[in-house]
Structure 1
């Protein structure tokens, strides 16, 4: 287990991160804006996820928001810029100016292959979500208040979503004349089914945490999602880290590959784990409780 530490956020501190006993506690930190997403928030989410991916001591992650909401979506200032015809993604404007690329060119950034989709260039919003899926360890989102638009897509990047019963979740992009562009069109149908995904998208209706669980949009309802998430993360951090990482990888593979490859990967993981130091320690700890 690693000692208490920090993920060293950027000076703007839009994202806070503390690592204690293998659990990374990541918090969106714009409570006065209901943790709305701006350019700085996107950059810090990506940077924080990448730092955690490189930290072998991290065994589980909790993703939550400070204040009364998880994330209310894209900051209204970005929509105002869109309405006025002004640039609303400063980092993309600067990148195009530096590279002298045409406006519709999305030139690759260094390290795009690290997001698990080699050969594909991801947008910043996609990276801010997908970085949590390419982490080797489980990521648990704790949702209270709002998870709307981009905020909901961010939550979809987690492996597990614990949600307050009175939370409000919604696919709101069409209200602003947009479509989802933070992996939501690909992830949402896998969770709730194609017809429900279309209903949520076309209607832009908000659902409660309880309905979200019924639809498959969230995992389970909790009165105190962050407390529950931290407790779950602590229990995961106490398990064999090699087996936990293999379990996430194998479960994700079930959505992407065929059964033949999946069965082969299962056997390889078992052969790798059984008899290892971490697995033998787990068995000894389990047997202690039976004596």
Structure 2
């Protein structure tokens, strides 16, 4: 059965987890389907924003129980150690692939966002959650640690003591608390509609400037201890945008009080 659907319309890719009968819990097939969906968008020049959501009553309930049993029968080193996707293993790629997509990814969260599902959401640029959504770093419940990219992504979003408390206890928190800790960007009664509205706003911005902005933000995060390098990179990528067709079209559209029309993504 299909685990993930991808629909591209008006330059927005809607990626939907479609295992609703299992609260979109992650099994082996779903892990592969999520990776395939994400990787299919990396080189798609027509896409300007991505909305990631889950069908049914939850965004994603994490790894399903049957997958634990299957993993227990395998050599853990063979599962975890091979770098199958650049610097990541297969499980890490499920979350990290969204950071590798060159356009903004907006996650619409509802129901439960547990374990691997929580780490997938961290891979998005922006997280919009319904009030009352439950979120948890669930791995400690099963005697494990978060190992799907969470420890790369979490330190950019919240404090060390918050990460430690959530990791040590596996206690679920509500989206309202997650927002105060920086783990949720904003709350919305209909997070999918809010995510689509935001994606539409982004789709009308300069595609090259948006892609450059995402790349520059990542560069700044990775080089936070080297402000000289970040300042130089700011200047370098700005030079590549000034006077180019996308910027000139933005200027013309602003002066003519209309939406810009962009021919290509680069």
Q: TM-score, normalized by length of structure 1?
A: 0.84
Per-residue CA deviations over 1:125-171 (Å, capped at 9, x if unaligned) read 10111111011100000001110011100000000000111100011
Q: Distance in 2 between matches of 1:105 and 1:282?
A: 46
Match of 2:261? none
Q: Distance in 2 between matches of 1:154 and 1:137?
A: 16
When residues 200 and 106 of structure 1 are mapped into structure 2, their CA distance, relative to the original with a 3 A threshold, is: closer
Is the CA contact 2:25–2:64 (under 8 Å) kept in the aligned structure 1?
A: yes
Match of 1:134? 100
Match of 1:30? 19
Count residues in correspondence.
256
Among candidates 166, 169, 178, match of residue 132 of structure 2: 166
Match of 2:231? 263
Q: Distance in 1 between matches of 2:63 and 2:25?
A: 5
How far the C-alpha of 1:105 sits from its partner, in A, is: 8.1
Is the CA contact 2:28–2:67 (under 8 Å) kept in the aligned structure 1?
A: no
Give the aligned CA root-mean-square deviation in angstroms.
1.8
How far the C-alpha of 1:287 sits from its partner, in A, is: 2.1
Match of 1:58? 47
Match of 2:9? 20
Match of 1:86? 73
Q: TM-score, normalized by length of structure 2?
A: 0.91
Q: Distance in 1 between matches of 2:6 and 2:210?
A: 22
Is 1:274 matched up with 2:242? Answer: yes
Q: Distance in 2 between matches of 1:231 and 1:184?
A: 27
Structure 1 residue runs of 5 or longer lacking an equivalent are 1-11, 94-101, 114-119
Q: Distance in 1 between matches of 2:103 and 2:245?
A: 19
How far the C-alpha of 1:215 sits from its partner, in A, is: 0.9
Moved more, 187-196 or 69-78: 187-196
- Counting only pairs closer than 5 Å after superposition, residues 33-182 of structure 1 correspond to structure 2 as 33-81=22-70, 85-87=72-74, 103=78, 106-109=81-84, 112-113=85-86, 120=87, 122-182=88-148
Per-residue CA deviations over 1:249-283 (Å, capped at 9, x if unaligned) read 11111111121121111112221111111111111
Q: Distance in 2 between matches of 1:288 and 1:225?
A: 33
Is the CA contact 1:189–1:196 (under 8 Å) kept in the aligned structure 2?
A: no
When residues 179 and 266 of structure 1 are mapped into structure 2, their CA distance, relative to the original with a 3 A threshold, is: same
Runs (4+) off by over 4 Å: 102-105
Structure 2 residue runs of 5 or longer lacking an equivalent are 259-266
Q: Distance in 1 between matches of 2:79 and 2:163?
A: 28
Is 1:250 matched up with 2:223? Answer: no
